[in-house]
Structure 1
Amino acid sequence: MTTEADKRTFAPESTQDYGDDPNAVRDTETYQKEYVRGFVEKWDELIDWDARAKSEGRFFVDILAGRGKKSVLDVATGTGFHSVQLLKNGFDVTSADGSAEMLAMAFQNAADQDFVLKTVHADWRWLNKDVHGKFDAIICLGNSFTHLHDEADRRRALAEFYAALKHDGILIIDQRNYDGILDDGFSTKHKYYYCGDQVTAEPDYVDDSLARFKYTFPDKSEYFLNMFPLRKSYVRGLLEDVGFQQIHTHGDFQQADDEETPDFFIHVAEKEYAE
């Protein structure tokens, strides 16, 4: 007997298959099947590396350098944008992702800019089984943490991040402003994160435990991601529960969370308390 899960597992590499009821697909393992080759090959059209670098500026570089961090584990490297930006600024970077397709694209993107990525194919829930050593900092960016649909998975992943950090390490983790989406409906300035102006990324369906986003590209192709709509206060609570001593939250790439409706929240969580 073939189940819907089996069908999704063996979906063709350039097409997505959510079965008969896409809105019912709410499991952590889904992300590996969502990032099919056709979607991955178009992902950089959504980001637009040049526009993203301009909007982001030195935000992450300054946070890391200002705290004297050198070794960085990028646990959601995607197509490699942040790993490459950090390499350009002299950081020692290890790039991990749960999607083999994404890692292959990241490696090629870095090679095109004369960098050799140190890549690891790893599931966050068992991160320290595949990634060895301790890091000054971990970054988990691109709204990636919302791929974890179960609270147990989220807590386990954060515990793995915490264990992979040195005693004074920091975690930088971001998320969409799901508070705004859930409470007021979707809107975006399309300014900071997804800068490709020919690509649309908007919710196809939203409830308290699912945000299904549709990505439409210039060639009319459509892809989807099923994610969990994390609220800001909930994420901060999880970070505190796992042991982080200080958490600073920023709106988009601003130094303070002072924008009324940012597209993204960025949390900087520190293991060591400092005045």
Structure 2
Amino acid sequence: MSERWDEIVNWEKRKESEDGFFETLLKDYGVIDVLDIACGTGFHAIHLAKEGFNVKATDGSDEMLAQARANAGEHNVELEIGKADWLTLTKNIDERYDAVICLGNALTHLFYREYYQRAINEVYRLLHRGGIFVVDQRNYDAILDKGYTSKHKYYYCGEEIEIHPVTIQDDLVEIEYKFSAIEKYYLSLHPIRRDILTRYLFEAGFDEVRTYGDFEEEFEPYEPDFLIHVAEKK
């Protein structure tokens, strides 16, 4: 699905909807060096590099990395791009960073609870003191408790694409991306509730976790489509 992913996201509309949220957040924390561990086709890594951050972009998918390299070239951005496994980040990456980002609901591609903790532990070790881990997720509390609804306003902004779950279970959410009657793609995700992910962050050693709902600091628990957690290593 990597070749169609940019159509689902729609870079310009997504950039407009985010309204500089991540750039402002990173600048507020004095961030210079950023590691993107789920760069996908490069959306955030490229835009952050354009804003003057030193960005290294990694992903576990060769197809996504190839598209990220192509997109970086189209945007005239020099970007260090490489493959990395979340469970062994510190074995393959020697540098330490002011911020690590994992966006696009990527973390919920992990299907074993122990992998969540291992991955977050790896991220913690890659951060300088005072560094932050920025990780987002679908609002699985709302999906599991209330059923699926989505405004498709902030994250998946592409036109003429239907996005809805075909399976909702405590341990599995399968989402269908429908381009036409004959062209459909499916993603299987492991839903994780907000309190559980927050607990993993604290257990890894993070001292403070702030959560935003669709980029707002104040929100009703079931209202946002996405949650963004900012975990600080003091």
TM-score normalised to structure 1 length: 0.83
1:263 aligns with 2:225: yes
User: Which segments of 5 or more consecutive residues in structure 2 lack a partner in the other structure?
Assistant: none
TM-superposed deviation, 1:258: 4.7
- 2:162–2:178 CA contact under 8 A, matched in 1: yes
C-alpha separation in 2, matches of 1:223 and 1:96: 23
TM-superposed deviation, 1:255: 3.5
C-alpha separation in 1, matches of 2:142 and 2:15: 25
1:211 aligns with 2:173: yes
- 2:206–2:233 CA contact under 8 A, matched in 1: yes
User: Which one of the candidate residues 105, 110, 125 is aligned to 1:163?
Assistant: 125
Q: Matched residue of 2:132: which SS?
A: strand
User: Which one of the candidate residues 10, 13, 21 is aligned to 1:51?
Assistant: 13
- 1:249–1:257 CA contact under 8 A, matched in 2: no
Q: Which residue of 2 aligns with 1:87?
A: 49
Q: Which residue of 1 aligns with 2:63?
A: 101
Q: Which residue of 1 aligns with 2:203?
A: 241
Q: Which residue of 2 aligns with 1:225?
A: 187
Identity fraction in percent: 44
Matches within 5 A, 1:1-275: 39-218=1-180, 220-258=182-220, 260-272=222-234
- 2:142–2:222 CA contact under 8 A, matched in 1: no
The superposition leaves residues 23-52 of structure 1 with CA deviations (integer Å, 9 ceiling, x where unpaired) of xxxxxxxxxxxxxxxx11000010000000
More strand by share: 2
State the 4+ residue runs in structure 1 displaced beyond 4 angstroms. none
- 2:172–2:188 CA contact under 8 A, matched in 1: yes
TM-superposed deviation, 1:130: 1.7
- 1:73–1:137 CA contact under 8 A, matched in 2: yes
- 1:249–1:268 CA contact under 8 A, matched in 2: yes
Distance 1:202 1:54, change over 3 A: same
C-alpha separation in 2, matches of 1:109 and 1:58: 20
- 1:212–1:225 CA contact under 8 A, matched in 2: yes
- 2:141–2:222 CA contact under 8 A, matched in 1: no
Q: Matched residue of 1:173: which SS?
A: strand
1:210 maps to a residue whose letter is L
- 1:247–1:268 CA contact under 8 A, matched in 2: yes
- Cα-Cα RMSD: 1.2
C-alpha separation in 2, matches of 1:132 and 1:257: 38
- 1:121–1:130 CA contact under 8 A, matched in 2: no
TM-superposed deviation, 1:131: 1.9
- 1:137–1:165 CA contact under 8 A, matched in 2: yes
